[in-house]
Structure 1
Amino acid sequence: MEDSDLSLMLEVAMAAARIGGDVLDSWSERFTVSEKARADLVTEADLEAQNAIHRHLSSIFPDHGFLGEEGLSEPQGDSRYQWIIDPLDGTSNYVHGFPYYCVSIGLKKDTELVGGVVFDPNRDEMFFAGKSQGAFLNRKPIQPTDTADVGQAMTMASLPRGSGAEDPAVARFLQVLPHAQTVQRSGSATLNLVYVACGRIDAFWSSSLKPWDMAAGAAIITEAGGRVSKLGNGPFDVSQPEILASNGTSLHDELVRLLE
């Protein structure tokens, strides 16, 4: 793959992400009704955004494969590339008008993540990265923090919906809580990941994610100079539900120990 080919793919993905963001914006004012109607509406918004993103990408890359949150699964033709799409990461936030959600588009070549695009329509922030090309926010280079002491670290965690006190994810949250400066739960794994990449937070972990929650963000963190692994420090695998993402300092190893 030539650098110019990947650059073109990322430009197309950024355009597609903005299209998806426009769809979300167009639906966002409708969530003032009952909870049941909200659920129906957000499903429609999610699906319409995904369809718009898929339509744009597939019109330019018809042989590429696609995997998306809303039932999208198309194998590659003669291509080695697959797009991994989350049209709306942070659904509950979106429904309640809490401005912490995004569009996420990851790119995989064979088994390797080679690019990612994340668009936050609330802040008009476009995060993107390509393998060996650097990581950027609105076309300006980004990098993680250099925080190495867990006691000075701002961290984020995901907890499964409906998790109780006995859930291992809750236990891990509580294990880190006395040691980190802060542990937060935000509702958007993808934004947490890119916030690690650009230095707004120091680390994030989860054990309950899907490929579309992680693909773009993991690619962006890696290219920014951070580090991703499994919770136990094994190699990161986007097809598995767990991730520990950090700024790449010794903080990562300290969190591995605390999350055991």
Structure 2
Amino acid sequence: MCYTHGMIEIMKEAALAAGEIQKKYFRKGKLNIRSKTDHQNIITIADCESQDAIKQTILKALIGTGIPTQDIGFIGEEDLNTPVAKHMFVIDPIDGTSNFASGLDYFCSSIAYFNDGALTAGVIYRPILNDMYFAELGKGSYLLRNGKETKLQILDFESKNQLIISNLWKTFHERTIDIVDKLLPNYRGARILGAIALDIVLVAENSVGLTIGDVGPWIWDLAAAQLIIKEAGGGLHDWNGEPIQLDVSQIMIQYPVLACHPSRVSKILTAIHD
């Protein structure tokens, strides 16, 4: 079995299973909303069921191929953290939970696969639109929409024809607002949408020219999106211009990020550090 290709198909199946759960609850069922820290940081029954569906789908498939359970590990936003293993899966069952709980269709499931610590495959699934973004290392990024698969390639459009997305979590951080304010005259507009994984892959899709994530994003927010934008020819950098380095053994790190075409990085850094 070719592990990389096999894994991406398993991850797609897992994302679809989670999507069915989310569609069951979206704008319908009782969500059993609980606060993790406060009313702006919440978890729903759909988060828990989606994470479990993803985990169980992957486990069943991998065990069926003969991979021993001790070689399979998981990191998930909802209190899922097993020992580091050869085959590691990083899961955000619902990125954009507040949107989901509010009935706003801007959320997704994000699944990334690390083989011996190397980011190797990623899937992001937006169930209400049935949009699936996916990438394998060295094989490009793709969007499956309405039954049609399209290769993603980030283009260097003029910034005046593109949007900025800024991901501001909990409070409007003055530094981030200042950066967006400096850049905004060169862009079509700015938005805050509330799901960083989708915000990043929209750059790969050329719907957005720049996504700025402040101090909030974690490994489960970024892993799949990082590979998708990288394989599309873009980049995910920190606020010093260095490529983001994700480590499955260091899960409590938060990452300020920039997602954009490589040609934009220096101008954005000037705005950040001016």
Q: 2:179 is matched with which residue?
A: 172
Match of 2:270 among 253, 257, 260: 257
Match of 2:112 among 106, 111, 120: 106
Q: 1:153 is matched with which residue?
A: 162
Q: 2:12 is matched with which residue?
A: 14
Q: 2:54 is matched with which residue?
A: 53
Q: Which runs of 5+ in 1 are unaligned?
A: none
Q: Output the TM-score relative to the length of structure 1.
A: 0.88
Q: 1:85 is matched with which residue?
A: 91
Q: Output the TM-score relative to the length of structure 2.
A: 0.84
Question: Residues 102 and 118 of structure 1 are in contact (CA less than 8 Å); yes or no, is this contact kept in structure 2?
Answer: yes
**Pairing 1:68–2:66 present:** no
Question: Residues 86 and 213 of structure 1 are in contact (CA less than 8 Å); yes or no, is this contact kept in structure 2?
Answer: yes
Q: 2:238 is matched with which residue?
A: 230
Superposition CA RMSD, Å? 2.1
**Counterparts in 2 of 1:94-243, with a 5 A limit?**
94-138=100-144, 139-147=149-157, 149-163=158-172, 167-207=174-214, 208-238=216-246, 239-243=253-257
Question: Residues 235 and 243 of structure 2 are in contact (CA less than 8 Å); yes or no, is this contact kept in structure 1?
Answer: no
CA distance in structure 2 between the aligned counterparts of 1:235 and 1:196, rounded to whole angstroms: 16
Q: Give the deviation of 1:31 after TM superposition.
A: 6.0
Question: Residues 88 and 117 of structure 2 are in contact (CA less than 8 Å); yes or no, is this contact kept in structure 1?
Answer: no
Q: 1:25 is matched with which residue?
A: 23
Q: Which runs of 5+ in 2 are unaligned?
A: 36-41, 63-68, 247-252
> Could you tell me which amino acid in structure 1 is paired with residue 53 of structure 2?
A
Q: Give the deviation of 1:184 after TM superposition.
A: 1.2
Q: Give the deviation of 1:163 after TM superposition.
A: 3.4
Q: Give the deviation of 1:32 after TM superposition.
A: 7.6
CA distance in structure 2 between the aligned counterparts of 1:198 and 1:205, rounded to whole angstroms: 16
Q: Percent identity?
A: 27
Secondary structure at 2:46 match in 1 = helix
CA distance in structure 2 between the aligned counterparts of 1:191 and 1:201, rounded to whole angstroms: 11
CA distance in structure 1 between the aligned counterparts of 2:257 and 2:116, rounded to whole angstroms: 20
Secondary structure at 1:201 match in 2 = coil
Pair 152,255 (structure 1): closer, same or farther in 2 beyond 3 Å: farther
CA distance in structure 2 between the aligned counterparts of 1:120 and 1:243, rounded to whole angstroms: 22
Q: Give the deviation of 1:108 after TM superposition.
A: 1.8
Secondary structure at 1:145 match in 2 = coil
